[in-house]
């Protein structure tokens, strides 16, 4: 099967700004790949938008919310990259491939669960007071 020549490396471009633009282009392609292929990533983006909207409405400091959003989305992207590498090197069943995918998924699960807990602690008191329940 003919292979395509590798694309130019942005880091070696003699024009630094052009190289930087190319790097952003590749990173954006990664975001688009995750958005198209990962239902969990899309769900996390919707939840992030909801949390930021809620923070604005309830006048909650958005910095911890932004940090948690960055952590969850960043980890989901790394998980997606790892899945792609595992599928590339181990298209057939292998216990180590299973361990790699399961552990990467566990990291997203743990961080998302803790983020949800922190979100509850951040939003619950101002939400109750805003809705006049307390």
76 noted as active-site residue: yes
What is the Cα–Cα distance from 82 to 103, expressed in whole angstroms?
10
Stretch that binds ligand ATP, among 8-16, 21-29, 67-75, 95-103 (CB under 6 A): 95-103
* Residue among 117, 129, 35, 14 at smallest CA distance from 68: 117
43 contributes a contact to ligand ATP by CB under 6 A? no
Question: What 3-state class would DSSP assign to 110?
Answer: helix
- 86 in Cβ contact with 101 (< 8 Å): yes
Q: How many CA atoms lie within 13 A of 10 on its CB side?
A: 11
Q: Is 117 annotated in some ligand binding site?
A: no
Cβ closest to ligand ATP, residue 60 vs residue 115: 115
130 binds ligand ATP (CB under 6 A): no
Q: Is 97 one of the binding residues for ligand ATP (CB under 6 A)?
A: yes
**Closest to ligand ATP by CB, 55 or 86:** 86
Choice between 6 and 91, CB closer to ligand ATP: 91
- 107 in contact with ligand ATP (CB under 6 A): no
Looking at residue 9, what DSSP letter applies?
A: P
Is residue 53 exposed (0-12), middle (13-18) or buried (19+ Cβ within 10 Å)?
exposed
Which residues make up each annotated binding site? 26, 32-35, 57-60, 76, 83, 101-102
Catalytic center residues: 76
């Amino acid at each position: 099967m003919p292979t395509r020549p590798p694309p130019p490396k942005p880091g070696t471009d003699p024009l630094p700004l052009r190289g930087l633009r190319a790097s952003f282009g590749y990173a954006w392609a990664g975001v688009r790949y995750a958005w198209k292929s990962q239902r969990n990533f899309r769900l996390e983006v919707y939840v992030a938008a909801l949390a930021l909207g809620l923070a604005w409405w309830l006048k909650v400091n958005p910095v911890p919310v932004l940090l948690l959003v960055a952590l969850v989305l960043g980890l989901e992207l790394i998980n997606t990259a790892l899945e792609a590498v595992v599928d590339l090197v181990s298209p057939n069943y292998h216990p180590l491939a299973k361990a790699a995918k399961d552990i990467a998924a566990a990291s997203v699960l743990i961080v998302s669960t803790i983020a949800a807990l922190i979100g509850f602690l951040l939003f619950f008191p101002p939400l109750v007071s805003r809705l006049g329940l307390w």
